[in-house]
A = this chain, B = another copy of it.
Amino acid sequence: MQLLKAPPSPRKHPIYSRIRDTSLHAKVMSADAAAALFRDDMVVGMSGFTRAGEAKAVPLALVRRARMHPIEITLITGASLGNDLDGLMADCGLVKRRLPFQSDQKLRVHINKGSVSFIDQHLSETVERIRSGQFPRPDIAVIEAVAITEEGAIVPTTSVGNSASFVAEARQVIVEINTVAPASLEGLHDIYMPANRPVRRPINLVTPKDRIGVDAICVPKDKIAAIVMSDHHDSFASLDAPDAETRAISGHLTGFLLDEVRRGTLPPGLRPIQAGIGTIANAVLMGFADASFEGLTMYSEVLQDSAFDLMDLGKLDFASASSITLSARRHANVMARIDAYRDRLVLRPQEISNHPEIVRRLGVIAINTALEFDIYGNVNSTHVMGSHMMNGIGGSGDFARNAGLSIFVSKSVAKAGAITSVVPMVSHVDHTEHDVDVLVTEYGLADLRGLAPRERAAKIINSCAHPDWRPALSDYFARACTRGGQTPHVLEEAFQWYAKFRENGQMCACHTACACA
């Protein structure tokens, strides 16, 4: 005889475990119903930072709606969105203005065409601008959450980004409860917002471990316009495995930092480390696994695989960031074992993770990736050939300017050698030479501290440039010096290599029409 199974208790529905303030259950609706709340020309703030923790169902519903009935919005996020959302929202004409970051293939086509107005902003600054009335407040905030607490507070998922300020400033809030995000993420967040001026106090954070805020984002109940249930995962980060070049970069940098420890300018645990996003930064950090550092900490904006690998190896004691972005290799594993990292991890608003006050106080070691840099140490992080946006500046400026040590890494050439990453003059400046202490390529490391521009040039060319390009760079520099100056240049030649690339698909230092093609 078969026993009758009791029907599942309605209390087991995720709505009960995930929306613990039961008075809010009445606000649960479909994503399409929530998407109907948007109006043309609205300013929308969405969660999401480095493709982690973005709202997923509501943006997709908005795309469906925009495809049928065109609607345009200004979209502000933490940083990049996953699940192809930035591309989908741009392609359907939904997004007409976008800030403060992007790294999406499709969105950047619209940006470079001029059909999406993109404001590339230091990531710590966006919410300052909104709160001070210098940029319009969001009409609607859409925030992915693990849960809503008994008190009605929103628990973010894998990123905090700008969500807390969006919720505080928006007229309406849509919460997207992600039922596949591990409930155990709750407790990892530390939500803090500086008071509005002029009564702002110091931010009382003096080590990466300090908790200064609360666990979840408070919101007046009547602001919550909708709650949507979703079960979409974060996108996986696509990280290439370390290769010979990234291993060499990591080797140079590790050697340099060990020397600094030996000289006594850095302690054996270094200073809190910030590392940019992407394959090179991840590989560089992984190189620390084999070095004799001890008790490392991170004060960064994003934690990639390498942070968890270093924690597993006992090399990294603590990591503070605004998001967790993992590859397919690491995602399930870390999410299933989040409790194992609970005491060594905190996720903060990007305003705090990237805050000049804290970055300067901690003397952060900032490691960011350059698209190209020039012989004087100016760095281009964003623009291909001076005009076309690749990825936004992100937090690199927040960190590089205020860091105790500002390092930029890059491979020495791109496109199989057709492009040198070390150029006479960068075609776009994101970081000036004042903010760049150390440059590293697979060929070597240039320690620029205490050097005047002409000294920097000699060191950068000889330490970092690909050997094939050194003669042309040295020739440019020598001829520039005959004209004099603190930062000698031959302005009419400075961008000639780009023009050659435009013509021939190959940078070239010839001074006249050439047969390089």
Residue ranges of A at the interface with B (Cβ–Cβ < 8 Å): 97, 111-114, 117-122, 128-129, 132-136, 194, 197-204, 206-207, 263-265, 267, 271, 355-357, 360-363, 378, 382-383, 385-389, 393, 397, 401-402, 404-405, 427-432, 434, 437, 449-452, 454-455, 480-481, 483-489, 491-492, 494-496, 498-499, 502
Contact = CB atoms under 8 A, between A and B. Distances in A.
A392 to B, nearest CB: 9
A423 to B, nearest CB: 11
27 contacts: A97-B452, A113-B484, A117-B455, A122-B434, A128-B363, A128-B404, A132-B404, A133-B264, A134-B405, A135-B450, A202-B202, A202-B206, A355-B360, A356-B402, A357-B360, A357-B361, A382-B486, A383-B486, A387-B484, A387-B486, A393-B434, A427-B489, A427-B491, A430-B434, A491-B495, A492-B495, A492-B498
Given A481-B114, A484-B114, A487-B383, A207 B198 contact: yes
Contact of A401 (B113, B356, B385, B430): B356
Nearest to A125: B434
Nearest to A359: B356
A362 B121 CA distance: 20
Closest 3 CB pairs of A and B: A387-B485, A202-B202, A389-B486
Nearest to A135: B450
A267 B198 contact: yes
A200 B133 contact: no
Contacts of A455: 117
Given A402-B402, A427-B489, 7 more contacts: A97-B452, A119-B450, A197-B363, A198-B363, A387-B484, A389-B485, A431-B432
Contacts of A361: 194, 197, 200, 202, 357
A432 B436 CA distance: 14
A248 to B, nearest CB: 25
Contacts of A355: 360
B486 A112 contact: yes
Contact of A499 (B120, B491, B496): B491
A429 B487 CA distance: 12
B134 A450 contact: yes
Contact of A198 (B114, B271, B427): B271
A238 to B, nearest CB: 23
A219 to B, nearest CB: 24
A128 B199 CA distance: 28
Contact of A206 (B200, B267, B393, B488): B200
A126 to B, nearest CB: 11
Contacts of A404: 128, 132, 197
Contact of A485 (B119, B360, B388, B480): B388
